[in-house]
Chains A and B, each alone.
Chain A
């Protein structure tokens, strides 16, 4: 199997630059996920790797070969599209075997490959059906099967689960993770869903406006985000951001009665900062506390989310273990440990 290297990769459509210089190393057999809000350039970047979009500047290597000018079919890749892109007039068997006919593969070998892919994807009973006779999840599996039979070095997935309903998405997520283990392939996967990114990826690449904001393992990004954007994008429910000002050895939370919380970061007193705290970082045994009034409670069964404010300040999300006693209008003290706070400078960069 093969890794990839991107060096200063850029893409412009006319005067609009959508990918603004991406450097990235993808290891062999790695499951890497490009994640970011819509319009961040993640799909464009994937299509550049596939060869469907030209690379305006920079270099792309797949394995040791520079691939900028190489035709898509010669890059050793296979791609699964969001719309599945199945051939509507062909059966599942024909869909999966179609490309092999043009690669000079003998008939019985094609049949063997298709049967093998059908076994891996549990499509055996559906081989003689047409795409319109299949459910969304089955179509998705056929699209993956069409990629598998070609034995590519690298699999590219462009938002493959976006058209499926929530339950099926969870199921296919597990399937994809299994498939990655079974195929030992390099996978590049694009999604806007950070849950998919967290659950599937070996490493996540967070993109915004054509720039890589951070690359790292899912928990690295969760625990130790480089900036405000990554902190806000990774994690559900979203991280709370409070206004603060540095003092000596502490941060003062302006909208929370000027309470002082001890922190140990290097920032000059008087600096305005943004203080991040995750909803799930509030613990009953914390040494610091915010005084909040509950506005709304969501009981999810396993946990309870409270949306609360201090006075007329901003809404804060608090995940309580399972405090079913909370009700709207209650005052309560949301306790947390000062170590759980993340501090960000005015430009969004993390202060460590």
Chain B
């Protein structure tokens, strides 16, 4: 009896080992690729962020790069620009997306799928292509100025891309145009999962339209709003294509649209390369994403749990 039991256990262990080995074999190709192209660069860039020097001429500098951050006015400019885009653009975009989603969720609206498509369509355009188009629209003698002048809304052209203030506005309008539809789709999908009779019940009970939106729709969409605000925050912290392509000189005028990502690009490829410092700035973005996402989760967290 005992003998038989032992043999059975041995067989089982053998089988389990084969299965385990098989499992590892199956995920090995993916693991190797992930390791080479993701984990290795992440660790290498962390190492890099402690290197100082120009071009290939690097040496270990300890915390020198972090010290440099605190004394670098261009970095501080890029940081504050990035935060301005984040604080102004993300809320505008998410509120707009929520309003569009609510309107387009109304089954009585005429041409509903047409509007849905129209608002979502910018998301499938190439970032560079639309940036170039926005640049041409907002040139001093571009379409927008011609249009406004033609309507006599303004008496002289607005220096859209030459003035630091207006340049920021153009960037904000551009990314809002590009990404609002993307967020709207998440809201629409979530709204279609809400039981219709919840709204019918509120309607019968005399709950006004604004209250149905504010007290019913918004709280029920809370998880999705959190999700979109986290991905929009990450997206804005990585803002690059638009600020590199819309202003005639990338990041301009006078660094008014310089973002952290663009600064990293400049440090690595446009100026005399200082890869070590660029890696340090990259880790600033990583840490900011971590901190901001954490706070967003805290704010939206269910207080009763």
Chain A residues packing against B (C-beta within 8 Å): 50-52, 72-74, 77-79, 81-83, 85-89, 98-99, 102-103, 146, 150
Measured in the bound complex, the distance between the Cα atoms of B220 and A78 in whole Å is 23
Residues of A within 8 A of B292 (CB): none
Closest 3 CB pairs of A and B: A73-B206, A99-B205, A85-B197
Chain B nearest CB, measured from A12 CB (Å): 17
Check if B204 is an interface residue, CB within 8 A of chain A. yes
In the assembled complex, which residues on chain A have CB atoms less than 8 Å from the CB atom of B201?
79, 81, 85, 146
Annotate B263-277 by CB proximity to A: 1 below 8 A, 0 otherwise. Answer: 000000000000000
19 A-B contacts (beta carbon < 8 Å): A50-B204, A52-B204, A72-B203, A72-B204, A73-B203, A73-B204, A79-B204, A81-B197, A81-B200, A82-B197, A85-B200, A89-B219, A89-B222, A98-B202, A98-B205, A98-B215, A102-B211, A146-B201, A150-B205
Taking each of B204, B215, B222, which has the highest tally of chain A beta carbons within 10 Å of its own beta carbon? B204
Minimum CB–CB distance from A101 to chain B (whole Å) comes to 8
Q: Is B150 an interface residue (CB 8 A)?
A: no
Cα A271 to Cα B204 with chains together (Å) = 53
Complex Cα distance, B194 from A85, in Å, reads 10
- What number of residue pairs across chains A and B have CB atoms under 8 A from each other? 55
B207 and A99 form a contact (CB under 8 A): yes
Q: What residues of B have a CB within 8 angstroms of the CB of A77 in the complex?
A: 204
Which residue of chain A has the shortest Cβ distance to B210 in the bound complex? A102
Inter-chain CA distance A51–B206, complex, in Å, is 12
B94 to nearest A CB, angstroms? 19
Is there an interface contact between A87 and B204, defined as CB atoms closer than 8 Å?
Answer: no
- Encode B178-217 as 1/0 by CB contact (under 8 A) with A: 0000000000000000010110111111111001000110
Contact B220–A89 (Cβ < 8 Å): yes
Chain B contacts for A79, CB-based, 8 A: 200-201, 204
Mostly, the A contact residues are: loop
CA–CA, A89 to B198, complex, Å?
A: 12
Cα-based distance from A79 to B222 in the complex (angstroms) = 27
- Smallest CB separation, A144 vs chain B (Å): 12
CB pair A52 B206 closer than 8 Å: no
* Contact across chains for A78 and B204 when beta carbons are under 8 A apart: yes
Distance of B285 from chain A, by nearest CB (Å): 34
The CA-CA distance from A82 to B201 in the complex, in Å, is 11
Chain A residues, CB < 8 A from B220: 88-89
Interface residues of B (CB under 8 A from A): 195, 197-198, 200-208, 211, 215-216, 219-220, 222
Tell me the smallest distance from the CB of A42 to a CB of chain B, in Å: 16
Minimum distance in angstroms from B107 CB to a CB of chain A: 13
Given pairs A81-B200, A98-B215, A99-B207, 15 additional interface contacts (CB within 8 A): A50-B200, A50-B204, A73-B205, A73-B206, A74-B206, A78-B205, A79-B201, A79-B204, A85-B201, A87-B198, A88-B220, A102-B207, A102-B211, A146-B201, A146-B205
User: How distant is the Cα of A88 from the Cα of B219 in the complex, in angstroms?
Assistant: 9
The chain B residue sitting closest to A95, CB to CB, is B201
List residues of chain B with CB within 8 A of the CB of A78: 204-205
* A74 CB contacts on chain B under 8 angstroms: 206
- Residues of chain B within 8 A (CB-CB) of A81 are 197, 200-201
Contacts of A73 in B (CB 8 A): 203-207
- Determine the residue in chain A with the shortest Cβ distance to B219: A89
A52 to B197, CA, bound (A): 10
Chain A neighbourhood of B205, CB < 8 A? 73, 78, 98-99, 146, 150
How far does the Cβ of A72 sit from chain B's closest Cβ, in whole Å? Answer: 4
Min distance, Cβ A44 to any Cβ of chain B, angstroms: 13
CB–CB B207/A52 < 8 A: no
A-chain residues with CB within 8 Å of residue B206 when the two chains form the complex: 73-74, 99, 102-103
Question: Which residues of the partner chain A approach B207 to less than 8 Å between Cβ atoms?
Answer: 73, 98-99, 102
Task: Kindly provide the distance from the CB of B1 to the nearest chain A CB, expressed in whole angstroms.
Answer: 48
Chain A residues near B204 (CB, 8 Å)? 50-52, 72-73, 77-79
Specify which chain A residues have a CB less than 8 angstroms from the CB of B219 in the assembled complex.
89
A151 to chain B minimum Cβ distance, whole angstroms, is 12
Shortest distance in angstroms between B277's beta carbon and chain A's nearest beta carbon? 47
A99 touches B202 (CB 8 A): yes
In Å, the complex CA distance between A72 and B203 comes to 7
CB distance from A30 to the nearest CB of B (A): 20
CA distance A83 to B205 in the complex (A): 16
Report which residue of B197, B215, B219, B222 has the largest number of chain A beta carbons within 10 angstroms of its beta carbon: B197
B216 A85 Cβ-Cβ under 8 A: no
Please state if B203 and A52 are interface contacts (CB–CB under 8 Å).
yes
The smallest C-beta distance from A317 to any residue of chain B, in angstroms, reads: 38
